[in-house]
Each structure stands twice: as C-alpha cells, then as structure tokens.
Structure 1
Amino acid sequence: MSVSQGALKESKAKLLVPKAKGSREAMLITALMAGYSMIYMDKNMISTAIIPIADQFHLTTSQTGLMMSLFFLGYSLMQIPGGWLADKIGYKKVLILSLSLITLFSFTFGFAGSLLVFILIRFMAGVGHAGYPPSCSKGIAENFPVERRTFIQSLILSTNGIGGILAFVIGARLIDLNWHYGYYALGVFFAISLLLVIFFVPNSAPTPKIKEQPKQISFKEVITNRNVLILFIAMFIANVGFYGNMSWLPSFLKTKFDLSISTVGTILAFNAVGGALASLFAGVLLTKYFAGKEKALLLGSCILSSLLFIGIVFFDSLAPSVVCLYLLTFLLTAIFVTIFSWPHKILPEKVIGSSIGIVNTGGTLGGFVAPMTFGVFISMAGGSFNIVFITLAIAIVVCGLITLTVKIEK
C-alpha cells in the first residue's frame, strides 16, 4: 500500500475518532496560537536586538549572522526527533517540554554578556523551538477532521503576524530602551503560553478501533518518501528567502534610510500584519480555490517574489521599498503556508508529526544557512545589502520550479 493510499483509507476512518468541539476546540486553537505567536516573536525580535548588541559588544555582521544562524542549527538538529517524539509519546508532552526550554533560555539571554554565551543560549533556544511545529501539527491532525486541517493549520500559522507585531511594537520599543528588557518580557510571555498549553490542550487521542487497520508506515518510509524529500528541499530554499530577508531587514532599513530602531519597528510591525493576513488568505485559497492546484499557486508566488526582491535593490527611496517589502512578505508567507500544510493532504495522520518535522527541518536549515552566509556576503561587499536580495531573487524561483516535481496520486 502506498503512503497516499494509506492516507486515503485512514481519512475514511477519521469519523470514528472524537474531535475537538465547541469551546474546547476554541481553547485548543487559542493555546496553540499563543505558543506559536511567542515562537514567531522570538524569531523576529533577535533581528532587532542584534543592532544594539552589536554596538555594545563591537560585533561584525559575520558574528551577528553566526549568532542568528546557530539558533537554527539547534532547531534543525532536533526538528526530526521532535516530530518523532510527538508521534510516539504524544504532542502535548512535547509542546510542554518545548515551551519550558524556550522560557528558560529567553530569560537567560537577557543576562548574557559575550558572543560565546549569546551563541550557546540561542543554540539551546533553537533546540526548544524544534519540538513545537511538528507537535502542533500532530495536535491539529488528532483533533480536527481532514477537510478542516489545512485551514486550521493556516490559521495557526497566521500567528507569524501576531508574533511579528509583538516583536516590532513591544519588543523593539523595549530594546530601544535596553535590549535586556525585551528578553525579560519575552520570557514572561513564553511562561504564559506554557500555562495555556498545560491547561487547555487535551492529551493525545486514543488510537481508533477499526475493523481494517491500514499498513503501518515506518519512519524510514516517511524520510525516504519522494514528496517529503521534495518538500524538504523546497522549504529549505523558501526559508533561505524568508529568514534571509527577515534577519537583515532591520539592519538594512536602518542603514540605507538612516532610521531609528523604533521607526524600523513600526514599519516592520505593519509588515507583520501583512504576514498574518497572508497566512489566512493562503488558507482560504488552498481550501476553496487552489485545492489540487498548489503547484500553480507556488510557482506564481515565487516568480512575483523574485521581482520584488529585485525591486528592493533598485528603489532608492523609502516608500517604494516598503511597498515591495509588504508585498514580498505577503507572498513569502503564502509560499511557506502552502508548503507546510501540503503534507496534511498527501500523508496519513499517524506520521504527520514525523513528516512535518522532516519538511520543517528543511526550513530551519534554510534559517541556519541564510543569516550566517549573508552576513559574510555583506562584509565582503563592504556593507552593501544588494548581494543578499539578488541571491534571494534567484533562489526563490528555484524553489517554485522544484515544487513542480511533487507527485500527486489521483
């Protein structure tokens, strides 16, 4: 039996599995969204915090890029084990473990005082982050019917905008006062989200009893599955674009247009709103208009994104650059949501945690490569950011072309 056939048979059996209802469903979604909002707040806030940290400790762009990249190395190393654990011991336990680790290392980052300590703490924070996305996806698969999962996934991923708003409105202003304050506040927010998960996320659902059990799918079959590998590569390239853009935007805007950190934070807060809307919009598109046409949506979005990256390079005034930035964030978010939610349609529920873990590992590896590599590029280019955006323009088109090779069984 193929993986896709197993998914089809399993989806028919889902009627026998109890699903989240009413207020319980609302609280589950709220708790998962709260944790994800903090995840994205953390990812966004570091790109602003490195500006005063670099000034205080006299760090180069290569060193600050390394600091941001080592977070994603920890994330990448633990992503697949995190997905495997979500499948084996239950998604709630992994959610709690992940948020507990991130809470701890958010607080400790505020006390750091050297490059080595910054790197070590960010690496460990990445380890904590790794378990959240696959266990969250596992929770969605266990608590919602298959026809609703893509929209619920996109709804929860819309927290990239909420996290961005928190990072660039609250976080940036605290960082402008004293960067330590930003991370003390972040630790408090993570602690609150941890309590929400403890009290409002249900434990893993029991295995349904059905007459005909589908063939068990091994982890080896998942990790060597053609579509999983293609989505892994596509997510890698997409996140090189997403995090390459996100990591250096505050520094780019501050340097090119001589803006304050608070002004940069305001611009990027509105940008985060666009990211949230893009996640919701992508969910509607994938559910109602592009069901089965994901390739067309991805390729079109990638080509338009490439043109916008070029626009950022060639516009010398703030207004058109910001317009390009807002449109670009909208499209990059739609690309990410489409790739991230695709496994819900082509893989069985029992391996969603593992498959999302593998696919998202591609994304976190992209996050690892982008800040460090582009930091070196910027140093080599004498502080110019143009090489970053030109490279990203090429990479994102390659991402769209790769997704055309996904094989969909009728």
Structure 2
Amino acid sequence: MGKLKGKEVAIFLTLFFIGLVANLDKSLIGVAATAIRGEYGYSATEFANITNLYYASNIVMTLVSGWIVDRFGYKPFMVTALTILTVASLTFGLSGMLAAGAGGAVGVLTGLLASRFFIGIGQTGYTNGVSKVIVENFQPEVRQTVQSVVVATAGLGALLAYTVFTGLVGMGWQIAYYVLSALFLIALVLMVVIVPKKYTPPAGSVSLFTAWKHKNSLVLGFALLCNNMVGVVSLAWLPSYLQGIDVIKAEMAVNPGLTNMILIGYAIVMGVAMVASNFIIKAWFRGKEKIFAVICSAIGAVLLYMMTTSQELVAIVAFLYSSTFLLMLVFSAIVALPYAPLANEDGTIVPVSMIASSYAVINIMAFLGAIIGNTVVAGIADAMGFSVGFAALAIPFLLSGLALFLLPKTK
C-alpha cells in the first residue's frame, strides 16, 4: 500500500475493522446454519429463506442508499447502519428464546427472518458507505489499494468465523451472535469518534437512477452477480457440502475436526488471494485486468467442477483451495476496477461524482446473484445433493470474468 498520511491511517484501520465485522457476519450464518437447522429441523430450502430475506432487504435499501450517500454524505448513513446491525445481531441471537412461547420452531424462524431482514438493511452501510469514505478521505493514488485491502477482510472475517466463532457456536449459536453484536457496537463507536464528517457536493444534480444508465456500472454489476453466485453460496453452504461428502464423513469418524480444519484453510486462502490480487495486477496486469480475470475465471471454473466429481480427500481440498483463490482474484479485480483510470480519456471506469451510486448498482446486482445462487443450490441440494449444486456454479464462475471484456481499456 502507498504511504498513508496523517489521519488516513486511523480512518483506514476503522474501515478495516468495520469490514472485518461485516464480513464475519456474512460467514457466521454459514457456520451457524448446521447448528440452527439441527436444533429446529429446517430443510436447506427453509433456511435459504433466511439468507434470501437478508439479500432482499439489502437490495431494497441499496436502491436508495447510494443516492443518499452521494447526496447527503456518508457519516450519518453509516452510523445509522451500524446501529441497526448492533441491535439486529442481538435480536438474531435472542430469537432462540421465542421457541417456548411463540410456536416452537416456527416462532424461532419468524424471529430469525425478521432479524436477518434488518441485518440486510444495516449491511448497506458497509457495502455502499465505504467507497465514499475512501473517495473523501484518501489521496487518489492510494484509493484503489485501500479499497482492495478493506475488501480483503472477507477472508479474515471468514477465518474468524471458522475459528473463534465456531467455538462460540459450539457453546451455543446464540452466544456467537451476542458477541457479534458487541463487535458491531465497537465498530459504531470507532465510526463516530474517528471518521470525520465530510461531504463534497456533486458537480451536477444526482438522480436516483443515474448510475443505472451507466454502462460500466451495469457491466461490473453483472460480473459481480456471477461471481457472487459462487462466492456467497460457498460461504453459506460449504460447511454443509463438506459434511455430506462420503470420504470426509468417513475421515471425520477418526478426525472430528476435519471439516473445521478445511474451512480454516479455505478462509486463509480467501484472505491471501484478496490481498495478493492488488499486487499481482499492479505488477503484471496493469491495463490488462480483463485478460487476468478471464484466465482466472476459466481455470477456476474447471477446478470447481473437478472438486465436485473427485472422490479423493486431498484432491477435493486442493481443488477447493485453488478455485477459491482464483475466484477471489476475480472478485478483487471487479470491486477495484471502478477506480481504474481510463486509457484513452481522462477519468476512471466509474466517475468519482457517482461512485456511491455506482457501487449501489453493482451491489444490488451482486445481491441478486447471491439470491439466485442460494436458491438454486438449496433447491438442487434438497433434490440431488450439494455436489450437483456446486458443480452448476462453474458456469457463472466463467461468466464473471468474460463479462469484463465489455469495459473500456484501462491504463
């Protein structure tokens, strides 16, 4: 990362922590899924509704959040969002207390659905607010790197979920969400105390639908839609998928912690890939991001499919890690491209004046990909098993890289 000046360091660390906790929440739902489904007997499709409602509320709020941030500034929006996340994470854990007096498993499901709905709203503070904080508080030459490192918290959040929070889920999945709520409270305090309130009025009028007319925003959104179909499904269902593989089930009779060890490695691979992507692109693929993404997505799609057909433990893990590494390289390239300078004209892939609105478009399409992938894989899993569902994800994996060829050249 380039040199950060003055208060940039404190702001960067605050954004990093907010990203870490937000991504921990996204991974924790997958870890807790097995415990919740086992306790209340929910099918994969029923539990998928909890995740889908999260993304549905996220989409609805994202429709207006980018415009709100561009029009009124990021701080009030992010403070409100973090407050919602703090409260909703607490109520998600408290939902288990509804079982005795509100219809048993049905009562619990209602509480989980309602809490996850508000968590989806709160998560827009991270997904749509951070980009504007970066534009307003960091020098142009470090913005792309800051964005890449903050995004890399997806891997670290998953690692935290598969280590510390797996232990907490073992003590009771509700406890894990109480601790998550406390972490969101810390993030809220840091946001209030450290991140300044800045607002640069847009050069012209900001329309709620301006970014929806911007070709580059739509292309990036479609690419992330395809990428999220693979990545989000993995976060939500990978523990369940691994526990259903015959060779892993047999090995777990001797080594009960095997699945958790695989997941820890998976999270480490995610984090390393997302940090490394920025340096790989700068060193060898500057201005050639599209070629980089296609190579990664094509090889990764093949490896993902091979993972679902293999019967050897070592091969399954190797294919999982290598395809995940390539998936995260493509993901990081997509989310960093809005800041990339154009080759044949002044400006960037996405104009700075509409960066938050553009990320809103990109995120909405990404969330649609999550809903589509989650619904399809859950349905296939109930009918034919998770292996078939994961195999189908090779197609959107490939498309996530190919779509970027519709973008203009960068330098």
2:196 is paired with a residue of what secondary structure? coil
Q: Tell me how far apart the structure 1 counterparts of residues 118 and 65 of structure 2 sit (CA, whole Å).
A: 14
- Alignment correspondent of 1:24: 7
- Alignment correspondent of 1:4: none
- For residues 378-397 of structure 1, the aligned pairs below 5 Å read 378-381=381-384, 384-397=385-398
Aligned pair partner of 1:45 in 8, 16, 28: 28
- For residues 139-158 of structure 1, the aligned pairs below 5 Å read 139-158=133-152
Cα distance, 1:137 vs structure 2: 0.6
Q: Are 1:201 and 2:195 counterparts? A: yes
Cα distance, 1:21 vs structure 2: 5.5
Q: Tell me how far apart the structure 2 counterparts of residues 368 and 300 of structure 1 sit (CA, whole Å).
A: 26
- Alignment correspondent of 2:160: 166
Cα distance, 1:373 vs structure 2: 2.2
Q: Are 1:236 and 2:225 counterparts? A: yes
TM-score (norm 1): 0.89
The answer to which of 397-406 and 23-32 deviates more is 397-406
Q: Is the 8 A contact 1:48 1:250 kept in 2?
A: yes
Q: Are 1:319 and 2:314 counterparts? A: yes
1:202 is paired with a residue of what secondary structure? coil
Cα distance, 1:321 vs structure 2: 1.2
- Alignment correspondent of 2:170: 176
Output one character per residue of 1:6-29: Cα deviation in whole Å (capped at 9) or x when no partner. xxxxxxxxxxxxxx9634111101
Output one character per residue of 1:136-165: Cα deviation in whole Å (capped at 9) or x when no partner. 011111122323211111011111122111
The letter for the 2-side match of 1:275 is M
- Give the length in aligned residue pairs: 384
Q: Tell me how far apart the structure 2 counterparts of residues 325 and 409 of structure 1 sit (CA, whole Å).
A: 31
Q: Tell me how far apart the structure 2 counterparts of residues 168 and 276 of structure 1 sit (CA, whole Å).
A: 13
The letter for the 2-side match of 1:375 is A
Cα distance, 1:127 vs structure 2: 0.9
* Amino-acid identity (%): 27
Q: Tell me how far apart the structure 2 counterparts of residues 195 and 201 of structure 1 sit (CA, whole Å).
A: 10
Distance 1:288 1:327, change over 3 A: same
Distance 1:149 1:287, change over 3 A: farther
Superposition RMSD on alpha carbons, in Å? 2.0
- For residues 335-374 of structure 1, the aligned pairs below 5 Å read 335-345=330-340, 346-374=349-377
Distance 1:53 1:220, change over 3 A: closer
Distance 1:184 1:220, change over 3 A: closer
TM-score (norm 2): 0.88
Cα distance, 1:218 vs structure 2: 4.4
The letter for the 2-side match of 1:251 is S
Cα distance, 1:38 vs structure 2: 0.7
Cα distance, 1:310 vs structure 2: 1.2
Q: Is the 8 A contact 2:203 2:353 kept in 1?
A: no
Cα distance, 1:53 vs structure 2: 0.6
- Alignment correspondent of 2:111: 117
Q: Tell me how far apart the structure 2 counterparts of residues 312 and 250 of structure 1 sit (CA, whole Å).
A: 15
